[in-house]
Amino acid sequence: MVKLKKDTFKIGNKKLKSRLIVGTGKYKNFYETAKAVKASGADMVTVAVRRINILDKKKPILTDYLNPKKIVYLPNTAGCFNSIEALRTLRLAREMGGWKLVKLEVLGDKKTLYPNMIETLESTKILVKEGFKVMVYCTDDPLFAKKLEDCGASAIMPLASPIGSGLGLQNKINISMIIKQSRVPVIVDAGIGTASDATIAMELGCDGVLINSAIAKAKKPVLMAKAFKDAVISGRNSYLAGRMSKNNLAIPSSPYKGLI
Amino acid sequence: MNSLIMAKIQLNGKKVDIKTNYSIFDLLKKYKLLNKKVAIEYNGQIIPKGSFKKKYLKHNDKIEIVHFIGGG
């Protein structure tokens, strides 16, 4: 039997078993969140930082359902529209549990939720200087992706299409260019709509994908989580196996020799 | 005026009355948050866990208590 080379995945210093990272937003309740996360096989989940509800002491909280000691929490800056807000959020997240590996997103526009790349670059520089390992949500512009890497980003996270749109991979050429030039992991973040989109991203050579809405907003989120798990493994194996070349004409699969 | 209520602080955007000699530790105890994963911002400054007992609240202080919620 052919022994396959061990396929490891590392972001910053963090070794991950799964190349699927899942978000924890938009679910019906925490119970469903926990079940979907488990079915996805992900060992890293994104979480947001918000004010605690001080009036309702009995309200369930995320950490009761997803144990941060068992699954890697990746604090994000969702909802931050400038560098100051994003830095404040991540410094608080670090204080909460010592998290140095974080996901930075500085949004630029409420309608498209496109990242403000100028603020994103500046924030990345500051966070890297403060010792953070920064995974950065960004546009699919190869030049900005390169600049982020030069600033010390731990992972480049270009969007497939706008956040929550489910439109899938809209610019395969750019994503491929980013993959080719990057020495840090490239993780497609945002816009994936269904399992096959994730497979396509992985076949292009992405190191991982981050999925939230496509699982949480599926009719059966737990089953969709399993579908994504398989899709990512499949896409990765397909990438590693190396696809056949394309031909414009047919090439028979059975030999002509010995034909009766 | 109740002599025990000495100050009004703003906690997560809401006005809250507190007693005198009240620390951040006392505040977290009151809201049953001592063993929860939370972070505290005191007048815009992050307060490390080790200083919760030392930091006393005064009139007009702004406190933010944050935690992790679901997000993508």
The CATH number covering residue B40 comes to 3.10.20.30
Q: Is residue B72 part of a domain?
A: no
B53 found inside a domain: yes
CA distance B49 to chain A (A): 8
Model confidence band, residue B5 (pLDDT cutoffs 50, 70, 90)? low
| Residue B42 placed within a domain | yes
pLDDT greater than 70 at residue B3 = no
B42 and chain A in contact, CB less than 8 A? no
pTM here is: 0.90
Q: Indicate whether B33 belongs to any domain.
A: yes
Locate A101 and state its tokens: 């590996």
Q: Does B31 touch chain A (CB under 8 A)?
A: yes
Cα–Cα distance, B64 to B62 (Å, whole number): 7
B37 touching A (Cβ < 8 Å): yes
Residue A159 near residue A138, CB atoms below 8 Å: yes
Walk along chain A (260 residues) and give the pLDDT tens digit of each residue. 556 678 889 998 899 999 999 999 999 999 999 999 999 999 999 999 999 988 877 788 888 899 988 999 999 999 999 999 999 999 999 999 778 999 999 999 999 999 999 999 999 999 999 999 999 999 999 999 999 999 999 999 999 999 999 999 999 999 999 999 999 999 999 999 999 999 999 999 999 999 999 999 999 999 999 999 999 999 999 999 999 999 999 988 998 899 88
Contact between chains at B13 and A92 (C-beta distance less than 8 A) = no
Please report the beta strands in chain A, taking only residues with DSSP state E, as ranges in sequence order. Answer: 9-11, 14-16, 20-23, 44-51, 72-75, 101-104, 133-138, 155-158, 187-189, 208-211
Assigned domain for B32 exists: yes
Q: How many domains does chain B have?
A: 1
Catalytic annotation present for A229: no
- Whole-angstrom distance, CA of residue A137 vs CA of residue A153: 10
Given the residues A6, A57, A103, A125, select the one marked as catalytic: A103
Rounded to whole angstroms, the Cα distance separating B39 from A195 reads 36
* pLDDT score at A59: 81
Which residues span the domain enclosing B38? 6-67
Q: In chain A, what residues touch B12 (CB-CB under 8 Å)?
A: 51-52, 54
Least CB–CB distance from B70: residue in A25, A54, A93: A25
Residue B36 lies in a domain: yes
B15–A contact, CB cutoff 8 A: no
Tokens of A96: 């909460």
Collect all residues of chain B within an 8 Å Cβ-Cβ radius of residue A60: none
Contact A50 B69 (CB under 8 A): yes
* Residue B52 covered by a domain: yes
